[in-house]
Chain A
Amino acid sequence: MIQFKLNGKPRSFDGDSSMPLLWYVRDIAGLTGTKFGCGMGLCGACTVHRNGQAVRSCSTPMSTVAGQEIVTIEAIAGPDKLHPVQIAWIENSVPQCGYCQSGQIMQAVALLAETPQPTDEQIENAMAGNICRCGTYQRIRAAIKQAAGVKV
């Protein structure tokens, strides 16, 4: 039995412990804000926070989440509240199709938690693992800077 916290609530899981966290979150917990993109940790669509760090849930086996705190896009702000990164995303009208944006936002939130005023290079390094096929990168960059209070 694997015990952990998902969005602040205790959870337990006794299925296949090699199952990636992504499929637990989506198919079992029913939280669909976290997306499937590649299954190999190559695109970042499935990004969640594990103890505050951005991780690829598609490559995180359930066996490794025991005792950990997992947070998904649904819980980065309070109910009906927005995280400053989400506000910046909305104000820059970042999304096109929207599919990758949960992962982008989770990555950006983790970046700013660790590096409140990132340089261009730090933004590039942090966000390089998150693919947006629609090509919203210019606005992602702008939104991160806005959320960080950096002059664009």
Chain B
Amino acid sequence: MAGEFDGWGFALGHVAGARSFKVRGDGTLTGVFHEREWLPGENLADCRKIVGFYIPGVGVSDSIEPAWEKTETGPHCVGWSWEVDGVQGVYPRFPEKVYQGFDEPAHSMPECKCGFYAYYKGSLDWVTQTNVSGIVHGYGRVALGERGFRAEKAKIVALYTPPHSETQVQYSADIEVNPNLPIEEGFRRVSRRSLVSDELFSRIAWRYPNVPMYTDLDEMLADFPVDEPRKEVA
């Protein structure tokens, strides 16, 4: 845990976990929550912690607040108030967010939540999205959790793209969140509502030419196993 952090250990190799991706129409894979594009090959994490707001021509304001102006019809938002080095002003639009850099001295991965996430077990199925899942290898600085990890660097090593489901399973009891679901079952649930058409399959393959794409789950897990969970999650 962050408060108990006493330095980085060192190891050779990588950790292997499963995760889902959103798929854009052109075959590009992105994160599900943070829709950042995954590249073929190595991906380097950034930190999404907001440390300020960029005010053009002025600098970075630590915080902003809506600025209101009284009118005959009631309060009217005229922009966002900012303060930089004791100087205050109002910027008419929502200013650009400034994120903390991953390698800045102030940044601490143990105290942050950034990195590429992947799992040893648990539910993988997201509904209402065309998603695929697969295996990623994480390396660089890695936080190891009980049922998954988050890593500074990651690459997709295999994708599970089952054929388009003939019958779409309704989103009912079988999507109950289960953090201890064996990863094989997590993948099988995804396959029951696969929205990957033949055309989309080809586009994904074109975007990620060096990543093997499997329609047979057992074959993929034999070739690219997921690391063992560390212990049961309550």
Report whether chain A binds chain B.
no
Chain A residues close to B by CB (< 8 Å): none
